[in-house]
Amino acid sequence: MNFGFDLYALFASREAFIVDVLVPPILFGFHGWIATYCAVKMLFRPYNAWFIPGTKIQVPLTPGIFPKRQAKLSQSVATTITDTLLTPQDIKAKAEELVTQENIYRTVDLFIDSVLLKEFRDTTKLHRLASEIAQLSPTLLQHFIKSTIDSLEDRSETRIPAITDKIFDQVVLSSRINMTQATELSERLMENLLTPEKIRLSLIKVLSPQNINALDESINAYAGGPYRLLARIVGVKRICYEWKSYMENEPKEAQKLIADLIKRFGIKHQIAVQITSFDLRSMPLENVSKLKKNVIEFVEAFLIEHKDDLVEAAHKLEDEAMVTVQHAIVTFNPESIPAEVLDRTKRQVSTFIYSYLKRELGELVEQAIPKLGVHGLIVSKIDLFSPKQLEDLVKRICKNELKALEYFGGVIGAVMGIVQILINAITY
C-alpha cells in the first residue's frame, strides 16, 4: 500500500482539510489538558462538601480527595515517617554520631562562657541560682554516692581507682611524717597496741612449751660452741619457764616491770624515730605496686561495704551541704579563675559527660522517643492544616510535576487526535 498520498486530495476543499486535519489534534489536546487539569484540581477542590440545593444529598466527589482523606493522610504520613524515614534506630544512630567529645566540649564551653560566667555577674540571679542549686545539692550528692558505689559493684567504675591511684602517687608516696606527728602516732600505738598488759599476754603465748623447745633446739643447732655452753650453764629453757610462770602468777608486778623496761629502753622514742625515717619510695617497686593495689582494693571494699552509711551520712549533712554550696556560689568570682584552670575544668566536665553519654545514650534515647510522641505530633500538625494550606503544601513540593502532568494530558490528547486523523485517512 502506498502511503505517499496527498492530504489535500483526500479532502474536498481547504475548509474540509482544516476541519478534518487540524481541528482533531487541537480539540483532543484541549480535551486531554482540561481533563487532567480538572483531575489535579479535584485532588484539592472543593475544600468542603457540596449538597444538592434543598436536600441533604452530598454531591459526589466533594470535597476534594485530599480534604476528604486528610485524617487518613495524616496517619499515613506520620506512620511512613516514623516507620521508615525517622525510626528510633535512625534517631539513636544520629544521636550517637553527634555525641563526640569535641561537640560536647564546644557545648560546655559555650554554656560556661555565655551562661554561667555572665549569670554570675548578676547579683540577683546569682543568689537565686545559689539557693536553687543548694536545695538540689543533697539529692545530687546522695545520687552521686549511690551511682558511684553501684558502678564499683558492677566493676564499671574507673574514677575511684584512678583518683585513689593519683592520691597514692602524689600524696601518700611522697609524704614524710615529722617528729611531732611521729611522736603522737607512737604514743597512740603504745596506748592501744603495745600496752604492758598486751605485751605480757603476748609473751605468755610466745613462751609455749613448743616455742621454748624450738628455741633450745635452735641454740644447739646454730649457736657457736661457747654460746651453746653458756646457754646450757644458764639454762635457757628453765629461765623461759620461770619467766612465763612469773608473768602468769604475778601479773601486776610483771606489767610494772615491762612498763619500766619500755620507759628505760625508750621504746616510744625508738618507734617515733623509725616512723620519721620510713620512706615508701625506698621500698622495692614491686612492693610499692602491691601496696598501692591493696590500698585501692581497700578503698573500693570500704565504699561498697559502707554504702548505706555513706548515704545516711550525706543525708545528715544536708543542711551543712546546702549552706556550703550556697556560700561557695555567692562568693564565687569568675574573674579569679585562671584561664588554664577554666579550660581544664571544661575538658574534665566534657569528658565526664561524654563518658556518661557513651554508656547511657542508647537507653536515654529509647526512653525519650516514646515520650516525644513524634507520630502523634505529625498527625496533629497535619490535621491542623486547612484544605487551602494542604493544597499549598503539596503544590509547593510538586508544583512543576503537577503542571507537567497537565501538559502531558494535553500532549496525549493531541497525539490521540493525530492518530484519529491517520486512521481516517487510511480508511477513507
pLDDT in tens, 154-186: 877 778 888 888 888 877 777 778 888 888 888
C-alpha to C-alpha distance for 420 and 25, rounded to whole angstroms: 9
Structure confidence at residue 127 as a pLDDT band (50, 70, 90)? low
Q: Is the pLDDT of residue 246 over 80?
A: yes
b/e map 44-59, b = 16+ CB within 10 Å: bbeeeeeeeeeeeeee
pLDDT in tens, 348-386: 888 888 887 777 777 777 777 777 777 788 788 877 878
C-alpha to C-alpha distance for 186 and 177, rounded to whole angstroms: 12
Q: Is the pLDDT of residue 57 over 60?
A: yes
In 3-state terms, what secondary structure has residue 51?
strand
Point out which residues pair with 51 in neighbouring strands: 58
Residue, of 135 and 120, whose pLDDT is higher: 135
Spatial neighbors of 82 by CB under 8 A, at least 6 apart, are 374, 375, 378
Query: DSSP letters of 366-387?
Result: HHHHHHHTHHHHHHHHHHTS-H
Q: Give percent of the chain above pLDDT 90.
A: 1
Structure confidence at residue 8 as a pLDDT band (50, 70, 90)? very low
Maximal C-alpha separation, the chain: 165
Structure confidence at residue 126 as a pLDDT band (50, 70, 90)? low
Q: What is the dihedral of CA 15, 18, 19, 21, to 10 degrees?
A: 140
Provide the pLDDT for residue 333. Answer: 65
What sign does the dihedral 353-356-362-367 (CA atoms) show? negative
Structure confidence at residue 4 as a pLDDT band (50, 70, 90)? very low
Span 281-292, mean pLDDT? 83
Structure confidence at residue 10 as a pLDDT band (50, 70, 90)? very low
Structure confidence at residue 330 as a pLDDT band (50, 70, 90)? low
